[in-house]
Amino acid sequence: MNLENISNNKSFGGWHKQYTHQSEVLNCAMRFAIFLPPKVNEGHKVPVLYWLSGLTCTDENFMQKAGAQRIAAELGIAIVAPDTSPRGEDVANDEGYDLGQGAGFYVNATQAPWAAHFKMYDYILDELPNLIEANFPVTSQRAISGHSMGGHGALMIGLKNQSRFSSISAFSPITNPTQCPWGEKAFTAYLGDNKQAWAEYDSVELLKAGKPSLPILVDQGSEDGFLAEQLKPENLIAAAKSVDAECELRMQAGYDHSYYFIASFIEDHLRFHHQHLNAK
Amino acid sequence: MNLENISNNKSFGGWHKQYTHQSEVLNCAMRFAIFLPPKVNEGHKVPVLYWLSGLTCTDENFMQKAGAQRIAAELGIAIVAPDTSPRGEDVANDEGYDLGQGAGFYVNATQAPWAAHFKMYDYILDELPNLIEANFPVTSQRAISGHSMGGHGALMIGLKNQSRFSSISAFSPITNPTQCPWGEKAFTAYLGDNKQAWAEYDSVELLKAGKPSLPILVDQGSEDGFLAEQLKPENLIAAAKSVDAECELRMQAGYDHSYYFIASFIEDHLRFHHQHLNAK
């Protein structure tokens, strides 16, 4: 069994657990965290919300700071928080916080030196859910959410794989990575100069392809310092309107880019996903 | 004005704010955090819960990890989280995580080299509340709580100053520091060999002096790795029984010493304090 349990914390009657495993797709050891609600203690299988974190984060930021366990325990939802990139001494890196380790951008890199390990798209879409569904008391019902770079990941992976998820949500997502400095830097490094390759990982471009079959909820703080230059939710909403997508953007007055913002609204996101997981 | 605002995050309709100030008592610059519930936006003054953190912590651990803001926002309670010791290059320190900076133990040190700065008892009891009550929209109603070393601080400061607080609570407190390795090391360093000086900062000894006028709530995880050697809640309960104190100890099966434990039960503590703040 390629799965090593490295921590266990009882939390709201359920369990927060961390594991390491050797990822075949990423070709390195990876850590993830899972919250299992108390319902699994009684022999039930539960659906899974995959949470994708932002730049510089690991599996720990969301689990420690979002305050999601209380509601997940109540609703009977497992939460899986992967790391944000491959890691290790053998894995390529960059001095910037926005490229390399901690900044995988949830794409499959095609360019040297990144292509050897940076296949986060395949990891999040296939390898990790397969591992989770083979080893934990969960159903194959899945929802996806994330923050900032991870909000981009959730929107993009959800839109490209609509049959695999019941619903998508995001906090402060990078909605249009082909049109902002963070995305331009990362996509140039990971994908090269071919803008057609970029478009396949851009939620605004993906949304333009047609009305999605699943609902989308986005929360964005009005005082987020990255809003105008990096996040551009107006581009997502314009694309959503053009295809009549079920996509709600809530501009939250006064909130910033931090986990204080996420914690304030995570309950709404879990209830949104719960409603659609149950409807499926 | 000796108070510099260094961060602001909107949180559950209220505000998390960090400040620095020059502490006269500690003779160094100090940072603290305050959560102001939305009620203050409407011109109301609110009571204050002082939260004392444990070894190695700063003002940030509780504010980021406990998930307290949701309930404090609902109940209209401000929370103040100070640092756990004086800080700075000019302040004495030790290589151990359990002595010196990050480990002030909420006492007034009398021994060199600690006595120059380590006056956390006076800081928490007087200087900080005076600063808070002079500069923020709060009443003089106060409750006190904390975790581990901070649970010791909350119990000890509350018991020594019963007219200053409405209620005391603690998570995993060091109940009897004169009888455990953490306390023995710190009290020897800060207070010297005089065990009578130690007893004045020991909650079990303080409780034996007579029935307290304020209620106490303690949560303790049964799987806390520090339980038997360092925390000894049975000593607190024995002392409480001997004086008929209103002191409830809840042993929480399966929980550990972490913030996952604190987050699971912080709502109960805030509702407990709210009830007694209102009754006063």
| pLDDT for res A24 | 97
Q: Which of B260 and A279 is assigned the larger pLDDT?
A: B260
Q: Tell me the three state secondary structure of residue B255.
A: coil
Q: Which of B9, B69, B258 sits opposite A258 (nearest CB)?
A: B9
Judged against a pLDDT cut of 70, whether residue A31 lies above it is answered with yes
Q: Residue B278: pLDDT band by 50, 70, 90 thresholds?
A: confident
What residue of B is the nearest CA neighbor of A225? B9
Q: What is the CATH number of the domain that holds B36?
A: 3.40.50.1820
Q: Residue B279: pLDDT band by 50, 70, 90 thresholds?
A: confident
| pLDDT for res A209 | 93
Structure tokens at B213: 């006028």
Q: Tell me the three state secondary structure of residue A112.
A: coil
Q: Does A263 touch chain B (CB under 8 A)?
A: yes
Q: Tell me the three state secondary structure of residue A105.
A: coil
Q: Residue B263: pLDDT band by 50, 70, 90 thresholds?
A: very high
Q: Which of A9, A13, A258 sits opposite B256 (nearest CB)?
A: A9
Please report where in the chains the tokens 């800060």 appear, as a residue: B190
Question: What is the average per-residue pLDDT within B222-246?
Answer: 98
Question: What is the average per-residue pLDDT within A17-40?
Answer: 98
Query: Domain span at residue B117?
Result: 3-278
DSSP-assigned beta bridge partners for residue B48:
B78, B142
CA distance A164 to B147: 43
For A138-179, write each residue's pLDDT tens digit.
999 999 999 999 999 999 999 999 999 999 999 999 999 999
Judged against a pLDDT cut of 90, whether residue A278 lies above it is answered with no
Distance between alpha carbon B164 and the CA centroid of its chain, in Å? 14
By the 10 Å C-beta count (0-12 exposed, 13-18 middle, 19+ buried), A253 is classed as exposed
Instruction: Tell me the pLDDT of chain A averaged across its residues.
Output: 97
Q: Which of B32 and A1 is assigned the larger pLDDT?
A: B32
Judged against a pLDDT cut of 80, whether residue A280 lies above it is answered with no
DSSP-assigned beta bridge partners for residue A108:
A119
Q: Residue B217: pLDDT band by 50, 70, 90 thresholds?
A: very high
Q: Which of A9, A11, A64 sits opposite B64 (nearest CB)?
A: A64
| Run of H or E including B277 | helix B259-279
Shortest CA distance to B185 belongs to which of B86, B85, B100?
B100
Question: What is the average per-residue pLDDT within A113-138?
Answer: 98
CB count within 10 Å of CB B250 equals 12
Q: Does B261 touch chain A (CB under 8 A)?
A: yes
Structure tokens at B219: 């949560």
Judged against a pLDDT cut of 60, whether residue A192 lies above it is answered with yes
- Overall number of domains in chain A: 1
Q: Residue A202: pLDDT band by 50, 70, 90 thresholds?
A: very high
Q: Residue A1: pLDDT band by 50, 70, 90 thresholds?
A: low
Chain A residues in contact with B67 by the CB 8 A cut-off are 67, 70, 263
Chain A residues in contact with B224 by the CB 8 A cut-off are none
Kind of pairing between the strands at A168-171 and A216-221: parallel
- Torsion on CA atoms B120, B122, B124, B125, rounded to nearest 10: 150
Q: Give pTM, 2 decimals.
A: 0.97
Shortest CA distance to B121 belongs to which of B84, B96, B91?
B84
